[in-house]
Amino acid sequence: MAWNVKGGYVETSCDLLKMAAIADSPKVMTAGHWKLGVFVDEEASEEQADMLVKVFTGQLGGPMAGLAPLVGEVPGVECATPGGAFYAWPNVTDACRMTGCPDSETFRKRLLHEAGVAVLADIHFGARVPGEGQHVRFSYAASKQAIEQGIARMAEFIRSNTRKVA
């Protein structure tokens, strides 16, 4: 991913700087041990480079730090805090069961069409690992308001479609 900062001030001006990040995750993304490479514009001062790295790894809060706790509040969904990535990988196994979805791909399609929330199912990133459950991927390269609205719509979708277990 790459960004061209066209405005912004985080303890120092970062206007007109460029930044890129490359994430390497294990086959099972929830296993942790992510590696993140961050490349900052050569025109950036050391202070600016430090600030950009802190922003884009969630160390200063904001959307990068805030997605996992929000997702974790939704019934049937568990999410570990991402470690320097731009995506969260919540386990939706219980949410699938609660809503009668046989897998995360069905959950993804229903979430998009019925709640207007776009996520990607785990199968878009390779074969499922037996015993690891069902997962979806959220991008949190969005405003905090957009993230909160999406999580609220997902929670409402799960609540309104929860089936009674016999």
Q: What is the pLDDT of residue 166?
A: 44
Residue 28 shares a structural domain with residue 45: yes
Task: With respect to residue 50, please indicate whether it lies within any of the assigned structural domains.
Answer: yes
Q: What is the pLDDT of residue 41?
A: 74
CATH of the domain at 142: 3.90.1150.10
Residue 43 shares a structural domain with residue 113: no
pTM recorded for the entire structure? 0.57
In a 13 Å sphere around the CA of 147, the CA atoms on its Cβ side amount to: 21
Q: What is the pLDDT of residue 108?
A: 95
Residue-number span of the structural domain to which 33 is assigned: 2-56
Residue 50 shares a structural domain with residue 86: no
Task: With respect to residue 166, please indicate whether it lies within any of the assigned structural domains.
Answer: no
Helices of type H across the chain: 46-56, 63-72, 93-99, 104-110, 144-161
Q: Which of 56, 73, 96 is the endpoint of a domain?
A: 56
In a 13 Å sphere around the CA of 49, the CA atoms on its Cβ side amount to: 9
> Residue 122, exposed/middle/buried by CB under 10 A (0-12, 13-18, 19+)?
buried
Residue 26 shares a structural domain with residue 67: no
Q: CB-based contacts of 25: which residues, under 8 Å, 6+ apart?
A: 33, 34, 35, 85
Name which of 33-47, 56-70, 85-99 the model is least confident about.
Answer: 56-70
The number of angstroms, rounded, from the C-alpha of 79 to the middle of its chain's C-alpha atoms is: 9
Residue 35 shares a structural domain with residue 84: no
Q: What domain count does the chain have?
A: 2
In a 13 Å sphere around the CA of 53, the CA atoms on its Cβ side amount to: 13
Residue 75 shares a structural domain with residue 157: yes
Residue 29 shares a structural domain with residue 83: no
The number of angstroms, rounded, from the C-alpha of 104 to the middle of its chain's C-alpha atoms is: 15
Q: Which carries the bigger pLDDT value, residue 94 or residue 138?
A: 94
Q: Percent of the chain having pLDDT more than 90?
A: 27
Residue 117 shares a structural domain with residue 148: yes
Q: What is the pLDDT of residue 50?
A: 78
DSSP label of 30: G
Residue carrying structure tokens 């969005």? 142
Residue 23 shares a structural domain with residue 68: no
3-state secondary structure of 9: strand
Is residue 34 scored above 60 in pLDDT? no
